Structure 1
Amino acid sequence: MRLLLLEDEEPALALLRRFALTYYPAATIVGECQQVAEAAEFLRTHPAPDLILSDIELLDGNVFTLFNQVTVSSPFIFVTAYDQYLVQAFEQNGIGYVLKPVQYASFAAALQKYERLRQVMQSAALQQLAAALPQAAPAPRYKQRLLSKSRQGVYVLAVADVLCIQLRNGVAHALDGSGRTYPLSETLAQLEAELDPRTFFRLNRSELVALVAIERLEPYFNDTLAVYLRNQPGAPLVSSSHRTPELRKWLAG
């Protein structure tokens, strides 16, 4: 907490200092000014304090003239013997008005009001900041299971068990580690969009392959690659030539 004190009478200044440090033991009193001109110069040349505790009549005039000389962003608690300035005080930066002779209870009540206002302002500022920040897009949710419908019923196939998906006679079929295939109702394009692209790759127009299923790659022809699956005898899958560079990047992570 950074406090600026504006008071032209030394006993009153000492009391103000003592009350302020009683309420805020860790506060820093960044300045003590007895004149409006002195306060204006301080505010021009220093960072704005968190709070200003100020008398109204200073050595060189009324403190309200300060607002005509310099931009003041800090809130004020006015500590004064004059009650006629109450309305003017709150038309400026006033958030508290304590009459002399100052009692600690009334001084502390003004600071409690300041604390409440500060908490409200901080909360509002955080809400505005949160609203202004771009919202992170929710992480996409990919399929964790596939459904294969047949005359016998519906088979639930975990995506983690799928080695590849192939288009056969216009119907997508999933192949699992046992070599069994399951017809699916989705198109290959739908499955490509619904499966995690870090896990499945579109090799060509008719095949998707799972990363964990790949055992090795071999050059094939015309910039294509033969993709051999783990524990799966028979002909390899073959990448299309225009997908081969992307396949290499995908495998490299």
Structure 2
Amino acid sequence: MLRLLLIEDEEPALDQLRRFALQYAPAATIVGECQQVSEALEFLRQHPAPDLILSDIELLDGNVFQLFGQVAVSSPVIFVTAYDSFLVQAFEQNGIAYVLKPVQYAQFAAAMQKFERLRQSFQGAALQQLATTLSSAPMSAYKQRLVSKTRQGLYLLDVADLPYFQLRNGVTHALDAQGRAFVLNETLSQLEAQLDPADFFRLNRTEIVQLSAIERLEPYFNDTLVVHLRNQPVSLTASTHRTPRLRHWLGLK
């Protein structure tokens, strides 16, 4: 019997995922449904690993890739998302298929068929060995330092000393307390997965902020929030899509 874990924060999308899963495999059992990274983390810590995880990437409390830094995930994952920018990360983190929203059943079924082909190719001891290897692999730690390469040499940056990160002309920059900008090789999405979600939050497509750097929040147009930083001459704005997550992250109603 196929045991599935669903991770999706939007009810219509979760309902569709559930319907598609049971349409494809009527005998399957949905062992859990999670809408947040924290819920998925708790589930995987307390329950046996499911046979397959069907997961969105952007969730209410952050990016699902944060999950892989906090718990050993031995299950294969089919990622179902509206974003095409996480493809590389998906296949670095147990991903076996990547389905873009809006999801058509034919796409979903093709991903499930790929899972079944892979499953059939690993039988008995080989499958058990694969699961053991994945579950015993060391969990990646969140980044404590970053490296900026310049003509003058390498700068070692302590993550705790960086109030925010910003995408400028397609290039990721780390900003320090003095307002100096350091070019990074990582994309903003890669940084989001590498930084501790308890300390850093992605405000929009171009900016990530550190919690300790926030001085105050100001309501703005269309229920968004302007984020004023401590001892910084700049202010950042949370996107409409991410403002509810920011409020939740900060414990605001």
- Name the structure, 1 or 2, with higher relative contact order (CA <8 Å, separation 6+): 2
